[in-house]
């Protein structure tokens, strides 16, 4: 396979995008974004293209991966350079690509075979069809690195059943295919071994007004939701809805062991390792996102993301997880009760002429 970070192919009527950084679990880079965005526009204007399929290259050992997130290490490397424009460029172009996917006029099918986190979620969940496999592992783990659940998390997570989106945003909980189907994160389940055959069938779809219905029929023919197994998260939804209500992060932490029993106590312990500042940010996202348009959600995320990369917790989170790998971050402040509301307000404030704008 080519050494290019992202590959574009035509197979019949299908435009096929392959994320091609398998040693990095296909983590998304700015050059990949800058190649993918214009290619999608070209295919949107090409009458011979019926459907766009996005997938990830398999790892060197053959195990599948979709996309493990964005290349946040590059942002960490430039965090102390006051002249760096990388954050504004990366997030601005990534979020614009997310919006292109959300508004895409043609069928867009993501084959989420393997890990799908962070930036990979932004490349998949906003498309109309999301195909999970037995290898799917979904998460929005940003609170563990002092970041925020972005790439449209402000839009999609509050729209999941009950308060499951709040739970996912705060905890970074990992979901397999059955849970993704139960929550609507995935639309279909197809065994990994059949994804090649599925892609071939999609490449035979006739371009034109009937393409949506034909793609749906192909996916339904291959899909076997029962084979995904039994979802685990549904049994916890009543507890999630009770414990994750309200706008007060400290209140959520207090309720979990009281109202959530042993499971809730375990969740509370997990949250104790997350950045308090990131959790307060994520909770606000979940409370405001349900009433915002997709574009306004992305503008909000851009404001926070371009500022948060210069904060202590982002630097400490990346250091502990990706640099030193000691997984022992020292957050500041260390408790949600000590997070300054004014500091959070400042992160969400408009950027004036530096705000994100869409064509």
Q: Name the DSSP letter for residue 221.
A: H
pLDDT band at 79 (very low <50, low <70, confident <90, very high): confident
pLDDT of residue 1: 63
Is the pLDDT assigned to residue 88 strictly greater than 80?
yes
Q: What is the pLDDT of residue 344?
A: 99
Residue 55 — φ and ψ, nearest 5°?
-150, 170
For β-strands 6-11 and 14-19, DSSP reports them as antiparallel
Question: Do residues 175 and 139 lie in contact, with contact meaning Cβ atoms separated by under 8 Å?
Answer: yes
pLDDT of residue 80: 83
pLDDT at 271: 99
Backbone angles phi, psi at 118, to 5 degrees: 50, -120
| Percent of the chain surpassing pLDDT 90 | 95
The average confidence (pLDDT) of the chain is: 97
Question: Distances from the Cα of 57 to the Cαs of 9, 133, 336, in angstroms?
Answer: 13, 15, 40
Q: Residue 211 has which token pair?
A: 């393409």
Average pLDDT over residues 48-73: 96
In this prediction the pTM is: 0.97
The catalytic site residues sit at 70, 119, 142, 150
Sign (positive/negative) of CA torsion 16, 19, 20, 22? negative
At the topology level, CATH places domain 6-354 in 2-enoyl-CoA Hydratase; Chain A, domain 1 (3.90.226)
Separation of alpha carbons 115 and 109, rounded Å: 16
The pLDDT of residue 81 is: 87
Beta bridge partners of 10: 15
pLDDT at 318: 96
Which residue matches tokens 């000691």?
326
For residue 221, the Cα-to-chain-centroid distance in whole angstroms is: 27
pLDDT in tens, 261-304: 999 999 999 999 999 999 999 999 999 999 999 999 999 999 99
Residue 167, both tokens: 């739970």
End-to-end CA distance of the chain: 35
Distance (Å, whole) CA 57 – CA 1: 9
Q: DSSP for 289-353?
A: HTTS-HHHHHHHHHHHHHHHTTSHHHHHHHIIIIIS-------SSSSGGG--HHHHHHHHS--GG
| For residue 107, pLDDT beyond 90 | yes
Q: Taking residues 309-323, what's their average pLDDT? A: 96
Mean pLDDT of 313-332: 96
Q: What is the pLDDT of residues 8-33, one digit of tens each?
A: 999 999 999 999 999 999 999 999 99
Three-state DSSP class for residue 15? strand
* Domain coordinates in residue numbering, the chain: 6-354
């Amino acid at each position: 396979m080519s050494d290019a970070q992202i590959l574009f192919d035509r197979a019949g009527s299908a435009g096929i995008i392959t994320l091609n950084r398998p040693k990095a679990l296909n983590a998304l880079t700015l050059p990949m974004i800058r190649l993918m965005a214009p290619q999608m526009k070209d295919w949107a204007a090409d009458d011979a293209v019926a459907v766009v399929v996005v997938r990830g290259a398999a790892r060197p050992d053959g195990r599948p991966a979709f996309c493990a997130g964005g290349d946040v290490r590059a942002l960490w490397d430039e965090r102390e350079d006051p002249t760096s424009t990388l954050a504004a460029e990366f997030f601005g172009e990534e979020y614009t690509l997310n919006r292109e996917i959300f508004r895409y006029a043609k069928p867009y099918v993501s084959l989420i075979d393997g890990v799908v986190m962070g930036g990979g979620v932004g490349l998949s969940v906003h498309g109309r069809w999301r195909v999970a496999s037995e290898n799917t592992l979904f998460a929005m783990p940003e609170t563990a690195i002092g970041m925020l659940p972005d790439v449209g998390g402000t839009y999609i997570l509050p729209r999941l059943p009950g308060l499951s989106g709040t739970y996912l945003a705060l905890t970074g909980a990992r979901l397999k295919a059955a849970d993704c189907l139960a929550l609507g994160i995935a639309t279909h389940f197809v065994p990994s071994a059949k994804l090649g055959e599925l892609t071939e069938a999609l490449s035979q779809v006739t371009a034109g007004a009937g393409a949506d219905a034909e793609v749906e029929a192909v996916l339904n023919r291959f899909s076997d939701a029962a084979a995904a197994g039994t979802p685990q998260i549904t049994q916890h939804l009543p507890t999630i809805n009770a414990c994750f209500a309200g706008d007060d992060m400290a209140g959520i932490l207090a309720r979990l062991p009281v109202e959530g029993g042993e499971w809730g106590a375990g969740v509370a312990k997990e949250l104790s390792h997350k950045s308090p500042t990131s959790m307060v940010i994520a909770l606000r996202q979940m409370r405001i996102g349900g009433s915002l348009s997709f574009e306004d959600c992305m503008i909000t995320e851009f404001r926070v993301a371009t500022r948060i990369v210069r904060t202590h917790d982002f630097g400490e989170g990346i250091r502990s997880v990706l640099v030193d790998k000691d997984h022992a971050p020292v957050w500041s402040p260390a408790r949600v009760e000590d997070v300054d509301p004014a500091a959070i307000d400042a992160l969400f404030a408009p950027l004036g002429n530096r705000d994100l704008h869409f064509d």
